[in-house]
Amino acid sequence: MVEAAPDLPDPALLCALFGYCDGNSDQARVLMHMLQHDLLRRTVQHARLRTTFYTAERYPELTPADPAAPPDLTCWPLLRREDVVAHAAELTAGGYERGANSHTEGTTGTPLRVVRSREEMEYVFAYAQGLVDAAGSTGVAKPLVLALGNPYHGEAVPMPSVGTSLSGSVLDDDSIAACARLLQITNPLPERAERISLLSGLLFHVHFLTSYLMERRIDPSSTAVRTIVVTGSYATPAMRRFIADAWKATLYDRFSLTESAAGATRCLQCGDFHFDANVVAEALDVVTGLPAAEGIGELVLTDLYPFARMQPMLRYVTGDLVRRVRSACKPHAFTFAFLGKTRNCIWQNAGGTARWLLLYNDYFDVLTELPDVALTEVFSAVTTAFDRSAGSRPIQTIEVAERDNRTVITCTIELRYAPHCFPDRTDELRRTIVRRLRESPTALAEQLDRGAAELQVRFVSPGMLHGASTLYV
């Protein structure tokens, strides 16, 4: 029997229904899970109908015992990046008009192409417009938004805005200078705010623009920007404080990835990330592969129909490591702290349980607070900035090896100077890094004391790592 195509929910109605899930009541919890169960049924129905990869044998329709409980997807296999690359044609749904091509950078493995249809892009736009309409406006004048462009991932998916968006860039001298002018001038436009009040872009771009303005003795807080949205990279506490304090603005930290139409936002109340309700997220234990309600696990996402259509990816392993936590402000939401790329975190198998020794973001937090550490110069086309590396990734590598029943971790860090010229300072840096990592919420200190692990911290001169930023060997 040929399966029928799933019904297409009205985007405005679906947006309103998911809006009712944004609370901490039992009714909100039940509604969210029922909506997810319903869309999961449509998701697998669509995937089996439109692609050759998803078959009824491998992906049976879910039959939840309790539609008000969180979805259980463990009867479906995991989809890894290498699977998507190897089966790209079979994973692509037929009968759609191609809308946009995007690609990942490859920080979690082989670069991956992501294809979106015109139909799903229009649907996501209409759904997002409902979110914008629900947010309303604080006044008659619509705000002006400066959006810093990101050309790295292919074609951008158009999205509605709460106001009028102006495009900017920090990737060359003329573009970053134009951003500085735009932020300072008055724009007399009918029914529009006269000055830019919202800034959005990649974290490193916003951080760099902030430093650029301050080098020119332009106080970022003298602009009208009072809301900043950053995305694209892990924002350390130090980076978030620097940006928010410099602009005297509210900073919204957005977790997203090219492969998903959804994402998560760092909560201003609890400080952790809450996933959007229109995606099903899981955190899988790295040893057992089973979903964890709390604790550390690898992030797995299932984008729901009709938000993802041309390249449906069910139980996609993102390559990101998270700590799932329980939230008082959104107890039924998937709430997590981002810990780094899975391959950049180090653990031991302790009798079927993962014993974590190094979580990359703990390490990254330490390095970005040390001005001695060299940073990748990602803004080489901007010659008018005195520090073109402000806000970018520390240049370092992490190696792990098993020797004599010990896990040996070697951290090699490039400095802004030759370490042999300042031996006292490098000794102090080494002690600081080791002390801070021992204080992190891992088993590192215990295993170091037991002799079951060894931590080596090495420093090298500028240029010796040849531009490496986040390598795991």
**In sequence order, what DSSP letters do the residues of 7-60 get, joined into one string?**
P---HHHHHHHHHTTSSSSHHHHHHHHHHHHHHHHHHHHHHHHH-SS--TTTSP
**Helix, coil or strand: residue 179:** helix
Same domain assignment for residues 465 and 349: yes
User: What per-residue confidence (pLDDT) applies to 471?
Assistant: 40
Q: Are strands 164-168 and 142-148 parallel, antiparallel or unpaired?
A: parallel
Reduce the DSSP state of residue 210 to 3 states and report it.
helix
169 plus 277 within the same structural domain: no
Residues 327 and 391 reside in one and the same domain: no
Q: Examine the domain organization and report whether 388 and 415 are in the same domain.
A: yes
Q: What CATH number is given to the structural domain containing 376?
A: 3.30.300
DSSP string, 382-409: --S-S-TTTT--B-EEEEEEEETTEEEE
Q: For residue 2, tell me if it sits in a domain.
A: no
> Are 172 and 213 members of one domain?
yes
**Both structure tokens of 395:** 């240049």
Q: Pick from 237, 256, 275: which residue ends a domain? A: 256
Does residue 3 sit within a domain? no
Answer yes or no: do 282 and 190 share one domain: no
User: Comparing C-alpha atoms, which of 264, 266, 292 is closest to residue 279?
Assistant: 264
Query: Is the residue at 5 inside a domain?
Result: no
In a shared domain, residues 218 and 181: yes
Report the alpha-carbon distance of residue 240 to residue 252 in Å, rounded. 9
CA distances from 292 to 89, 165, 281, 299, 325 (A): 32, 40, 11, 10, 10
| Residue-level pLDDT at 155 | 55
Asked whether residue 379 falls in the same domain as residue 356, the answer is: yes
Considering the domain boundaries, does residue 325 fall inside one? Answer: yes
Q: What is the CATH number of the domain that holds 145?
A: 3.40.50.980
Q: Report the distance separating Cα 411 and Cα 470, nearest Å.
A: 11
Q: What angle do CA 180, 237, 204 make, to 5 degrees?
A: 35
- CATH number for the domain including 57? 3.40.50.12780
State whether 332 and 369 are in the same domain.
Answer: no
The domain containing residue 266 runs over which residues? 11-112+260-340
Whether the CB-CB separation of 277 and 87 falls below 8 Å is answered with no
pLDDT in tens, 256-288: 988 888 899 999 999 999 999 999 999 999 999
1 domain residue, yes or no? no
32/275 Cα distance (integer angstroms)? 12
Give a yes or no: residue 117 inside a domain: no
Question: Cβ–Cβ contacts within 10 Å for residue 63, how many?
Answer: 8
Last residue of a domain, which of 340, 361, 386?
340
pLDDT at 403 (0 to 100): 93
pLDDT at 472 (0 to 100) = 35
Residue 4 belongs to a domain: no
Report the number of distinct structural domains present in the chain. Answer: 3
Residues 57 and 129 in one domain: no
Looking at 202, 230, 256, the residue that finishes a domain is 256
Pull the structure tokens for residue 346: 């180090």
Q: Does residue 298 sit within a domain?
A: yes
Looking up tokens 């920090």, which residue turns up?
Answer: 170
Radius of gyration of the chain (CA): 24
Q: Are residues 128 and 238 in the same domain?
A: yes
Token look-up 């998701």 returns 43
Rounded to two decimals, the pTM is: 0.91
Where the chain has pLDDT below 50, the residues are 1, 469-473
Burial pattern 239-257, b for ≥16 Cβ within 10 A else e, equals bbebbeebbebebbbbbeb
The SS3 of residue 167 is strand
**Amino acid 106: pLDDT:** 56
pLDDT value of position 473: 31
Same domain, 268 and 177: no
